[in-house]
């Protein structure tokens, strides 16, 4: 059982987001003030931005002391930013979401609630679970479904959506799983979930409202290829422990 006053870190990994950072952090901060009753902190994870992102993160930290802070890395990589922010946190639960807030914030309270005083240590938003409402380009939809189908064939996993940028884990799960993750970029999410299942952690899924960001920094084809290579690395890294 967790303490009555749960502490949650919400990490926002960013790279060259000077145009959207103030708006996104303002929207998220107001939502948390209005809709959650636990202690929270927003952590901006700047991974080697070349524009004014870091400067803006510092300004927001000064504007909202105790509510917003930042970590800075000299190398790119969303996984690298999450690894640093999560492992250095002393919060009971750590989470992350994309800076564009593509996932509707209404799913955040149930995401966190599923980890409080429960048998779950990992919770994820899912765009593929019944009840989800998704608006995105057909190309992205097809690639995402194919990728998740490949995971299902290779690992017989139970979770439905490996890539949705909306996840939360307990401090215990961070301690056990994150040091084993090798990827520093976009495959970090998939590797986290695959290792969690192999280690016996139960994964809670929340259907989400999700709207595609037309200005996304993600290069679909190259990212998908890196993810596929990551799947084969994980599948054959410890032969015999994965279902056949």
Let me know: does 168 contact 193? Beta carbons within 8 Å.
Answer: no
Say if 213 falls within a structural domain: yes
Say if 244 falls within a structural domain: no
Residue 121: name the closest of 188, 172, 194, 176 by CA.
172
- Whichever domain contains 157, its CATH number is 3.90.550.10
Say if 131 falls within a structural domain: yes
Say if 1 falls within a structural domain: no
| Cα atoms found within 13 Å of the Cα of residue 192, Cβ hemisphere only | 32
Q: How far apart are CA 231 and CA 220, in angstroms?
A: 16
Question: For the chain, what is the domain count?
Answer: 1
Q: How far apart are CA 161 and CA 216, in angstroms?
A: 19
Q: What sign does the CA torsion over 214, 188, 33, 203 have?
A: positive
Say if 103 falls within a structural domain: yes
Say if 208 falls within a structural domain: yes
Domain containing 25 equals 7-235
Q: Which residues, at least 6 apart from 183, have a Cβ–Cβ distance to it below 8 Å? A: 79, 191, 230
What does the block give as tokens for 68?
A: 């917003």
Say if 152 falls within a structural domain: yes
Q: How far apart are CA 82 and CA 113, in angstroms?
A: 21
H runs (alpha helix) in the chain: 21-35, 53-63, 78-87, 108-113, 138-155, 171-177, 188-198, 220-235
Q: Which residues, at least 6 apart from 6, have a Cβ–Cβ distance to it below 8 Å? A: 38, 39, 92, 93, 112, 116
pLDDT one digit per residue (tens) for the chain, 244 residues:
454 689 999 999 999 999 999 999 999 999 999 999 999 999 999 999 999 999 999 999 999 999 999 999 999 999 999 999 999 999 999 999 999 999 999 999 999 999 998 899 999 999 999 999 999 888 888 988 999 999 999 999 999 999 999 999 999 999 999 999 999 999 999 999 999 999 999 999 999 999 987 665 556 677 888 999 999 999 998 644 555 4
Say if 240 falls within a structural domain: no
DSSP one-letter code for 51? S
């Amino acid at each position: 059982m967790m303490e009555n006053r749960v502490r949650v870190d919400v990490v926002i990994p960013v790279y060259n987001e000077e145009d959207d950072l103030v708006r996104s952090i303002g929207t998220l901060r107001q939502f948390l003030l209005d809709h959650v009753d636990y202690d929270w902190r927003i952590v901006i994870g700047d991974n080697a931005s070349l524009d004014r992102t870091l400067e803006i993160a510092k300004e927001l930290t000064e504007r909202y002391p105790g509510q917003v802070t930042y970590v800075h890395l000299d190398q790119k990589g969303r996984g690298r930013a999450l690894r640093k922010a999560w492992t250095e946190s002393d919060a009971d639960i750590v989470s992350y979401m994309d800076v564009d807030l593509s996932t509707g914030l209404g799913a955040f309270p149930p995401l966190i609630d599923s980890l409080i005083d429960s048998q779950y240590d990992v919770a994820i938003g899912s765009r593929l679970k019944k009840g989800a409402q998704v608006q995105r380009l057909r190309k992205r939809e097809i690639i995402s479904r194919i990728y998740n189908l490949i995971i299902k064939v290779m690992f017989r996993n139970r979770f439905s959506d490996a890539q949705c940028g909306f996840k939360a884990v307990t401090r215990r799960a961070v301690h056990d799983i994150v040091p084993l993750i090798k990827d520093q970029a976009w495959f970090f999410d998939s590797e986290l979930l695959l290792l969690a299942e192999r280690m016996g952690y139960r994964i809670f899924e929340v259907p989400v409202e999700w709207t595609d960001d037309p200005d996304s920094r993600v290069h679909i084809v190259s990212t998908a290829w890196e993810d596929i290579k990551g799947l084969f690395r994980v599948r054959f890294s410890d032969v015999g422990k994965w279902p056949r």
